[in-house]
Amino acid sequence: MNSDPLRGFTPQIPQIFSQQWGQILGMLQPAAGAKAAASAAPLRFDPQKLLQLQQQYQCELTRLLSHSGEAAAEPLKDKRFAADSWRSQPGAALMAQVYLLNARTLQGMADALQADEKTCRRVRFAVEQWSAALAPSNSLAFNPEAQQKLLASQGASLAKGISNLLHDMRQGHLSMTDESRFEVGRNMATTEGAVVFENEFLQLIEYKPLTDEVFERPLLLVPPCINKYYILDLQPENSLIRHAIAQGQRTFVISWRNPDASLAEATWDDYIEKAVIKAIETVREIGGSEQINTLGFCVGGTMLATALSVLAARGESPAASATLLTTLLDFSDTGILDIFIDEPMVQFREWQMGRGGLLKGQELASTFSFLRPNELVWNYVVGNYLQGETPPPFDLLYWNSDATNLPGPFYAWYLRNLYLENKLVQPGALKVCGQALDLSQLDMPVYIYGSREDHIVPVDAAYASTQHVGGPRRFVMGASGHIAGVINPPAKKKRSHWIRDDDHYPERLGDWLAGAREYPGSWWDDWSEWLAQQGGSKVAAPQRYGRGAAFAEIEPAPGRYVRQKAAANG
């Protein structure tokens, strides 16, 4: 096969494709520069697919150019070109049609690549990023909708767009919502409670009961430390924390400190021993209970399972149950994030911050946003800057923009041992806090939830946890994605969830689904019923926070730590 994948192909289609392809390859090797990108061109492609792609492209381009009037009248299914102005101006409509054809052709070239799966996924990701960035809708010179607004407003939209741009440059991130409409403690994270313990890693919040009686075993929630805890307590109508309290659960949550230079050398072991295990011990002591119920969300679930495994290795069983929401224990399938993880990348991060430093919160936030570039980046560029609009208020997007730093050693260890080497599911392969870990020692009941459209923790990967824990399991699959699938209150009557009536957990999710039944609405009620079975007897609700002088109220919820901004720490 010809070693140059574009030879014999590029002369017959616009030269822009060879230029774009070289730049796309350069995106995959940012440290190498243009020269290395050019030398990376000898990737191999399926010649039959390229020939078919060439013929399709020439045929479609000829049709568009020779019947431009008819093409302009065709509906554009892409929502970026949904406004009437794109069809009312034939030149704009043709430009959009040609752009979409070019984008499909580049994606077809990526699909024709003959390489290992990881390389193919990286190329497809780079093509998606490049195509999204080059959309004519992103430029005032080519966007008729923005041009019409500019004329109708007599330039006011452009002035407002420039003001929005300067504002976002000052705050250090792209505005996805009207952030002036939200304030943590005023209309976000408002469930009544108090901070009853704090150290350099966390504040522990206890919530005021909403029932006369509570279950004797308290519930501890461990949110991801890469985000603020109030994803679990956005507003009263969609608060998982408030829902748990209303069900009679005496509820506690970890509110992570937003790391600054003082935590730049903190390790994974520090977070497990001094944060998660410390929180477990504190909740047991405050609740006067030998065992508690626990919940971990995303990375918080990984940390919770690690902490419980450390305690199991020490001969301790402080948890009566564990709930794992969209959690990775088995990192063999990490979805789209896998394209970023390989040995050179991990070595670079270890060199960069493995002994100290901070991974800035905005870097993490930008990475996650560009996983969905059209929905979470470019539409806001167009709306905020080209059209001078203020995005509507949306609590979830406010939370999403509230970035959190990570200690470098913590992050580098996490990448190496979990994402790259997948040691957590290998019995005895991983030592944390001086203990060799074995997830099969987790013999308490475990409730495992995965979201069907999750692009961060694929549902197959969430289901894989059923194969590694040692106790009774209950797996539930919900509709939607990583956040919307979890934050799905029953009152909304939205989405569905799937459950099996038996305790059969075959190796593969598809085999489990074959025996599962779909139920309308949220999974929260199923979880509440399951959790009630783990709660023990009912006791009178406590009349005050904490327990004695050792765990007295420090300050009202939501506390100081959740208000710390990553930019101020940077």
Q: If we measure between CA atoms, which residue out of 274, 323, 265, 269 comes closest to residue 294?
A: 323
Residue 108 resides in a domain: yes
- For the stretch 332-388, pLDDT in tens is 999 888 988 999 999 999 999 999 999 998 888 888 888 889 998 999 999 999 999
**pLDDT grade for 89, boundaries at 50, 70 and 90:** confident
pLDDT at 559: 98
- If asked whether residues 208 and 127 sit together in one domain, one would say no
5 within some domain: no
The helix or strand, by DSSP H or E, that contains position 251, with its residue range, turns out to be strand 251-256
- The Cα 373–Cα 132 span in angstroms is 7
**C-beta atoms surrounding 19 within 10 Å:** 11
Residue that is last in its domain, among 152, 176, 211: 152
Tell me: do 132 and 267 sit in the same domain.
Answer: no
Phi (first) and psi of residue 342, to 5 degrees: -155, 175
Q: Give 155-208 pLDDT, tens digit per residue.
A: 999 999 999 999 999 988 899 999 999 999 999 999 999 999 999 999 999 999
Out of 27-36, 189-198, 356-365, 474-483, least confident range:
27-36
Q: Identify whether 298 is a catalytic site residue.
A: yes
Is 405 among the domain residues?
Answer: no
Q: Does residue 259 share a domain with residue 134?
A: no
List Cβ<8 Å contacts ≥24 apart for 24-29: 24/106, 24/123, 24/126, 24/127, 24/130, 25/123, 25/126, 27/126, 27/129, 27/130, 28/122, 28/123, 28/126
Euclidean distance between CA atoms 258 and 266, whole angstroms? 12
- For residues 460 and 326, state if they share a domain: yes
Round to whole Å and give the CA distance between 21 and 126.
Answer: 10
- Catalytic-labelled residue, pool 59, 120, 225, 298: 298
| Within-domain flag for 346 | no
Residue ranges making up the domain that contains 130: 10-152
Quick one: pLDDT band at residue 68, thresholds 50, 70, 90? low
- Which residue type sits at 77? K
Task: Find out whether 482 and 336 touch, Cβ atoms under 8 Å.
Answer: no
Residue 497: CATH number of its domain: 3.40.50.1820
pLDDT confidence band for 505 (50 / 70 / 90) = very high
Is residue 146 domain-shared with residue 197, that is, in the same domain?
no
Give the C-alpha separation, 304 to 422, whole Å: 17
For residues 385 and 162, give the distance between their C-alpha atoms in angstroms, rounded to a whole number.
6
Q: How many other C-beta atoms are found inside a 10 Å radius of the C-beta of residue 369?
A: 18
Q: What span, in angstroms and rounded, lies between the C-alpha atoms of 195 and 546? A: 9
Spatial CA neighbour of 448 closest among 498, 492, 378: 498
Residue 9 has pLDDT above 50, yes or no: no
Q: Is 148 in the same domain as 256?
A: no
Residues 131 and 263 placed together within one structural domain of the fold: no
d(CA 205, CA 198): 9
325 and 474 inside one domain:
yes
CA pair distance 380, 175, nearest whole angstrom: 7
- CA-CA distances (angstroms) from residue 153 to 157, 387, 388, 552? 6, 10, 10, 58
| Token pair 């741009």 in the structure block, residue | 165
Residue 35 — left, alpha, or beta (φ > 0 → left; ψ -120 to 50 → alpha)? alpha
Helices (H) and strands (E) in the chain, counts: 23, 19
For residues 40 and 24, give the distance between their C-alpha atoms in angstroms, rounded to a whole number.
11
Read off the pLDDT of each residue in 286-308 and give the average, rounded to a whole number. Answer: 97
**Pair 214, 124 in one domain:** no
Provide the 3-class DSSP secondary structure of residue 449: strand
DSSP state letter for 389: P
Q: Is residue 376 part of a domain?
A: no
Report cis status (omega within 30 of 0) of the bond before 393.
no
On whether both 51 and 141 belong to a single domain, the answer is: yes
Q: How many CB atoms lie within 10 A of CB 533?
A: 10
Question: How far is the C-alpha of 132 from the C-alpha of 135, rounded, in Å?
Answer: 6
Residue 544: its pLDDT value, please? 95
SS3 assignment for 33-94:
HHHHHHHCCCCEECHHHHHHHHHHHHHHHHHHHHCHHHHHHCCCCCHHHCCHHHHHCHHHHH
Which residues, including other chains, have CB under 8 Å from residue 133's CB and lie 6 or more apart?
373, 378
221 membership: H or E segment, kind and range: strand 219-222
Q: Which amino acid is at 18?
A: S
Does 340 fall in a domain? no
Of 119, 152, 185, the domain-final residue = 152
**Which of 90, 123, 152 is the endpoint of a domain?**
152
**C-alpha span between 484 and 247 (Å, rounded):** 22
Residue 139 domain-assigned? yes
Pairing of strands 446-451, 319-325: parallel
Instruction: Output 4 or 327, whichever has higher pLDDT.
Output: 327
Q: Is residue 131 domain-shared with residue 252, that is, in the same domain?
A: no
**Beta partners for 435?**
432
Residue labelled with tokens 């109508």: 237
Do the domain assignments include residue 365?
A: no
Residue 465, pLDDT > 50, answer: yes
Looking at every residue in the chain, the average pLDDT score rounds to: 90
Neighbours of 69 (CB within 10 A): 9
Task: Please give the Cα distance from 80 to 461 (Å, whole number).
Answer: 33
Element (H, E) at 406: strand 406-407
Q: How many domains does the chain have?
A: 2
Is the link from the previous residue into 144 a cis peptide, with omega within 30 of 0?
no
C-alpha atoms less than 13 angstroms from C-alpha of 191 in its C-beta half-sphere: 28
Residue 145 shares a structural domain with residue 225? no
* pLDDT for res 199: 97
Q: What's CA 563's distance to the chain center, in Å?
A: 21
- Quick: pLDDT tens for 537-550: 999 999 999 998 88
Distance of CA 554 to CAs 155, 384, 495, 545, 559, Å? 52, 41, 40, 10, 9
Phi, psi of 554 (to 5 degrees): -90, -45
Place of tokens 């203020």: 390
In the structure encoding, which two tokens stand for residue 250, read together?
A: 């005496």
What number of other Cβ atoms are within 10 A of residue 536's Cβ? 16
Cβ contact 279:220 at 8 Å: yes
pLDDT of 55 > 70? The answer is yes
